[in-house]
């Protein structure tokens, strides 16, 4: 019985680290595609958009667009009343400008300053009207150069779509381009289809939005060239086979020329992700180029290529937020919405769990106490009737064990009474953070004997210093430690890691 109880407790403890469900959502002119992973299996839901609801990355009918998002959520979770669904969002029809630039290898605050300066210089949009992001994609130790991928998008477009998502109870965690989603899928699945991530590839995507050409080096996105169907169609909106062939040949030549201008050699292969016209595209490449063409296949689960962008988003959602270092084009307001939702989820989880666990232990100890008390009484009665000294001795031993158990029960009750409520602790830390202007990213608390890890963001060093002083001056905490190496520049100011202990 105790072994089975221990097994149940272990399963319960494995759930103590709250991990939110984060799905992948692709938004295009003609469809919404949503994926999420549950019990090791990917689940897929799609809603086709009527013409005129969403065109070229702009919402034409806000009411119908929100209704479609709500319909998507209800189909994805028909039996669950989830409060809000966090999603990694990819825009397939929105113009997102991206560019890779190179810097000398530097670290820390100097790197942030150098990157921000370059981002401002190359931005095709006025920085006051744009959201931008960047990530490291390569590092050459021989030339001591660092490659950085930057991306830019119109702020108004993101804000409008974010508003619609929130109205439909979706919380955007990340906003990224379709190219970044596809590059991640190739990087994650490349080894399973025989690709060498130390080589370079041209990834061609053919879907309902157009033809996308990506240069992938060392598993990272370095260049994108997109041809929409509107640019290929004639004046009547029709696309002939000759026009399609010419677009593929012309675009692939331009991509290969770009590669040759920036790097030595040539791409190893062409990787094709075609939701339509797959055979035609392969034939065009085989007739006009010397590249080997390989299909991009999602081997974990049989999946049609039209889901690959949403799957790329879903793969990012599966990774812990604390380890995500890829760029995002999301506004600050949406990021704060997600953090607040996570804090509410965390506090609610502990409010329910702590009383349940303590109540369970109390019931187990009470039942054990009653059982041992009755056993002790029975043994006492038997010992009075027993004529042998061994029976009396056994009764005394059992009585001693019962007394020791009673002492353990009393000790447990005293520990339970002195235990600090997890939810009260988190609320206290959150209150100190809010009073100092701190945005909470993560709070990791394992046990009173291990330091609490606090990740957050703040707009200025003064507020960060005030937060540290507030923790130091609080009698409930001790050993407050804020290292300079744990402070980094972020688009909103500073991101940092601070540790401290409970003062018991």
- Could you read off the pLDDT of 268-287 as tens digits, one per residue? 999 999 988 999 999 999 99
Report residue 69's pLDDT band, with 50, 70 and 90 as the boundaries: very high
- Per-residue pLDDT at 408: 62
The region of weakest confidence among 109-118, 135-144, 182-191, 395-404 is: 395-404
- Per-residue pLDDT at 411: 56
Phi, psi angle pair for 20, to nearest 5°: -75, 150
Question: CA–CA separation, 79 vs 154, rounded Å?
Answer: 37
The arithmetic mean of pLDDT across residues 429-452, rounded, is 85
Question: CA–CA separation, 435 vs 143, rounded Å?
Answer: 47
354 contact partners, CB below 8 Å, separation of at least 6: 421, 422, 423
Question: Residue 458 corresponds to which tokens in the numbers above?
Answer: 């703040």
Helix axis angle, 178-189 relative to 308-318, nearest 10°?
70
**pLDDT exceeding 70 applies to what percent of the chain?**
83
- Per-residue pLDDT at 82: 66
Question: CA–CA separation, 425 vs 476, rounded Å?
Answer: 10
Give the chain's mean pLDDT.
85
Q: Minimal CA–CA distance to 318: which of 148, 214, 184?
A: 184
Strands in 293-295's sheet, in edge-to-edge order, are 220-228, 210-217, 200-206, 269-274, 293-295
- Per-residue pLDDT at 307: 97
- Per-residue pLDDT at 499: 92
- Could you read off the pLDDT of 180-202 as tens digits, one per residue? 999 999 999 887 888 999 999 99
Question: Residue 283 corresponds to which tokens in the numbers above?
Answer: 């034939």
The domain 23-330 is placed in CATH, from the list 3.30.420.380, 1.10.10.10, 2.60.120.380, 3.40.50.460, at: 3.30.420.380
DSSP H stretches of helix in 168-240? 178-189, 229-232
Helical (H) or strand (E) element with 337: helix 332-385
401 versus 101: the higher-pLDDT residue is: 101
- Could you read off the pLDDT of 133-144 as tens digits, one per residue? 999 999 988 889
Q: Minimal CA–CA distance to 431: which of 464, 392, 470, 403?
A: 470
The domain 422-502 is placed in CATH, from the list 3.30.70.60, 3.30.365.10, 3.30.1360.170, 3.20.20.70, at: 3.30.70.60
Burial 137-164 (b: 16+ CB within 10 A, else e): bbeeeeeeebbbbbbbbbbebbebbbeb
How many residues are there in the chain? 504
User: Is the per-residue pLDDT at 159 higher than 70?
Assistant: yes
The arithmetic mean of pLDDT across residues 329-345, rounded, is 54
Look at strands 293-295 and 210-217 and give their pairing.
Answer: unpaired
User: Is the per-residue pLDDT at 116 higher than 80?
Assistant: yes
Question: CA–CA separation, 91 vs 100, rounded Å?
Answer: 20
Q: Name the pTM for this structure.
A: 0.65
- Per-residue pLDDT at 10: 42
173 contact partners, CB below 8 Å, separation of at least 6: 22, 86, 87, 88, 317, 321, 330, 338
Report residue 353's pLDDT band, with 50, 70 and 90 as the boundaries: low
**pLDDT exceeding 90 applies to what percent of the chain?**
51
Report residue 485's pLDDT band, with 50, 70 and 90 as the boundaries: confident
The arithmetic mean of pLDDT across residues 326-333, rounded, is 78
Look at strands 145-154 and 170-177 and give their pairing.
Answer: unpaired
Q: Minimal CA–CA distance to 440: which of 423, 424, 458?
A: 458
Question: CA–CA separation, 495 vs 108, rounded Å?
Answer: 12
Report residue 422's pLDDT band, with 50, 70 and 90 as the boundaries: low
The region of weakest confidence among 89-93, 118-122, 160-164, 307-311 is: 89-93
Question: CA–CA separation, 95 vs 281, rounded Å?
Answer: 24
Place of tokens 């109880």: 5
Report residue 384's pLDDT band, with 50, 70 and 90 as the boundaries: low
């Amino acid at each position: 019985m105790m072994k089975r109880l221990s097994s149940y407790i272990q399963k319960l403890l494995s759930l103590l680290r709250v991990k939110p469900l984060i799905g992948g959502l692709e938004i295009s002119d003609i469809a919404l595609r949503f994926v999420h992973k549950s019990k090791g299996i990917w689940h897929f839901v799609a809603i086709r958009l009527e013409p005129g609801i969403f065109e070229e990355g702009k919402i034409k009918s806000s009411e119908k667009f929100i209704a479609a998002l709500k319909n998507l959520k209800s189909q994805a979770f028909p039996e669950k009343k989830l409060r809000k669904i966090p999603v990694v969002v990819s825009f397939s029809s929105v113009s997102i400008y991206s560019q890779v630039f190179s810097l000398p290898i530097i670290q820390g605050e100097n790197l942030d300053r150098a990157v921000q300066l370059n981002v401002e210089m190359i931005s095709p949009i006025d920085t006051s009207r744009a959201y931008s992001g960047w990530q490291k994609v390569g590092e050459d130790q021989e030339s001591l150069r660092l490659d950085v991928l930057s991306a830019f998008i119109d702020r108004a477009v993101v804000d409008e779509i974010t508003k619609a998502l929130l109205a439909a109870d979706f919380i955007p965690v990340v906003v990224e381009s379709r190219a970044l989603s596809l590059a991640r899928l190739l990087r994650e699945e490349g080894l399973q289809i025989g690709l060498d991530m130390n080589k370079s590839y041209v990834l061609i995507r053919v879907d309902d939005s157009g033809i996308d050409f990506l240069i992938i080096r060392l598993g990272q996105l370095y260049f994108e060239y997109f041809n929409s169907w509107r640019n290929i169609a004639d004046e009547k909106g029709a696309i002939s086979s000759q026009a399609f062939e010419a677009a593929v040949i012309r675009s692939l030549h331009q991509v290969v020329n770009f590669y040759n201008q920036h790097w030595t050699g040539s791409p190893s292969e062409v990787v094709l992700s075609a939701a339509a016209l797959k055979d035609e595209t392969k034939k065009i490449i085989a007739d006009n180029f010397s590249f080997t063409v390989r299909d991009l296949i999602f081997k974990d689960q049989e999946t049609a290529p039209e889901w690959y962008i949403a799957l790329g988003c879903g793969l990012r959602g599966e990774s812990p937020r604390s380890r995500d270092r890829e760029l995002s084009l999301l506004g600050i307001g949406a990021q704060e919405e997600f953090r607040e939702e996570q804090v509410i989820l965390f506090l609610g989880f502990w409010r329910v769990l702590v009383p349940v666990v303590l109540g369970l232990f109390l019931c187990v100890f009470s039942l054990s106490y009653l059982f041992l008390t009755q056993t002790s009484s029975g043994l006492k009665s038997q010992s009075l009737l027993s004529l042998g000294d061994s029976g009396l001795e056994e009764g005394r031993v059992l009585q001693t064990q019962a007394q020791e158990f009673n002492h353990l029960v009393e000790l447990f009750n005293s520990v339970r009474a002195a235990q600090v409520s997890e939810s009260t602790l988190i609320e206290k830390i959150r209150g100190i953070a809010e009073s100092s202007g701190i945005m909470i990213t993560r709070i990791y608390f394992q046990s009173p004997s291990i330091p609490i890890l606090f990740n957050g963001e703040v707009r200025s060093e003064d507020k960060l210093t005030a937060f540290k002083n507030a923790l130091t001056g609080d009698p409930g905490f001790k050993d407050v430690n804020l290292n300079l190496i744990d402070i980094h520049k972020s688009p909103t100011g500073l991101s940092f890691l601070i540790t401290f202990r409970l003062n018991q």
